[in-house]
Amino acid sequence: MFDLIAIPLGWIMYAIYQVIHDYGLTIILFTLLIKLAMFPTGYKQHISTLRMQSINPKLAKLKKSFSNNPERLAQEQNKLYQEEGINPMGSCLPSLITMFILMGVWQVVQKPITHILRLKDEAKQAQAMLSEWLGGAGKEILSADALKDANKLLETRPELTIIEYSKSHPEIFSGIEGFTETVNSFDNSVLGLIDLGAVPSIRPESGWTKEAIALAMIPILSGVLQLILTIYTQYKSKKNNPDAPSMGGMTAMLYFMPLFSIWMAFSLPAGVGFYWVWSSFFSLLQTVGLNLFFTKKRTEKVIAKEREKSKKKKPGLYQRMMEQQQAMLDEQNGKGGNRAVMQRTGSNRVDYSDEEEADGLSRSELQEYNRRRINEARKRMAEKYGDE
């Protein structure tokens, strides 16, 4: 699946690389283009966050009123979301898109011969040649440990390994015309200083050289920028809504993510971490800019406008689900008119009437009652929205 995502991303990076011929700058410009393309989504997400913040006092009041009744609390929260036309899950989509793009970038960084140099078939041939060389002539040249590492890397990161051996042992790929010349002309670095195909390490084999230090700084810088973004976002949220309820575990997760990104960046080629650094940097700039743009007065106007717009437009999937769930709960709780009840007949068949609820129903009869009422509620929702 991630290969499918990598294909269009690879074409974009290929086009940029053809213009500037610098891999590091290509990733920076690529990240900027992705952020610009996703800005409308980020803008809507920011408005969604502002709308959620605007109803936090109401949510806090509901939690206080129904603290001992979780089911009723959930019902009242859903009603509030419906009235305001807010989808509390709306902010999840941009996060998912960002994660999918990151995985696509990972594929591109791991396969630069395929995606940047556009030599997919040649890369497969080169992988077979290198594998054959490691199993033959390579045994006489490389040490046992180096041979073991090379075979492992060829399985996990074949194209990056091919680039490495095309420089140190170009004779391996002599059977592919012009391959080594093309691959060796590819500068897989930032301004010729940091190899973005290398994996950062906290225990570099060659010691703490300048390149090893620069590689290690990429994951750390990525985590620091994400931490700054998290702290700033939490600060602005608390400042705008001092009475907002604590998010508890959600807040802890937000602070855990920078540590997770550091761990991930130390496990993947530096190009992925390099992308993550610039993605976090541009996200920070976007967040600060949007917070400066949305003054208190402008925020109030936007929220009022969005509230009116949500009343006119057709309910979305989340709102329809909430309405259906509420209808089912109302049916189970006997709301919306006289509650239909079950009555036993001489043939043990369960019938329904609009009288007062009968007492002494068995568990199976109550289950049958609830099942039928839920099906009726679903049918009404389907008729309302034209679904089958």
Q: Three-class SS string for 167-215?
A: HHCHHHHCCCCCHHHHHHCCCCEECCCEECCCCCCCCCCCCCCHHHHHH
Alpha carbon of 373 to those of 88, 252, 354: distances in Å? 28, 41, 13
d(CA 108, CA 115): 6
**Spatial separation of the C-alpha atoms in residues 257 and 259, rounded to whole Å:** 5
pLDDT at 28: 93
Classify strands 350-353 and 189-190 as parallel, antiparallel or unpaired: unpaired
Q: What is the pLDDT of residues 309-342, one digit of tens each?
A: 776 666 555 555 555 655 555 555 554 444 444 4
Local structure of 249: helix, strand or coil: helix
Q: What is the dihedral of CA 167, 169, 175, 178, to 10 degrees?
A: 20
Q: Nearest CA to 199 among 259, 257, 147, 271? A: 271
| Contact in structure between 333 and 370 (CB atoms under 8 Å) | no
One-character DSSP codes across 53-110: HHTHHHHHHHHHHTTT-HHHHHHHHHHHHHHHT--TTTTHHHHHHHHHHHHHHHHHHH
112 in Cβ contact with 163 (< 8 Å): yes
State the pLDDT at residue 225: 94
Identify the pLDDT of residue 36.
Answer: 93
Nearest Cα neighbor of 215 from 157, 163, 263, 265 is: 265
Which residue positions in the chain have pLDDT lower than 50? 335-359, 388
Residue-level pLDDT at 15: 93
pLDDT the model gives residue 314: 60
- List all residues 6 or more positions away from 294 whose beta carbon is below 8 Å from its beta carbon: 46, 50, 302
Q: How far apart are CA 60 and CA 290, in angstroms?
A: 26
pTM: 0.73
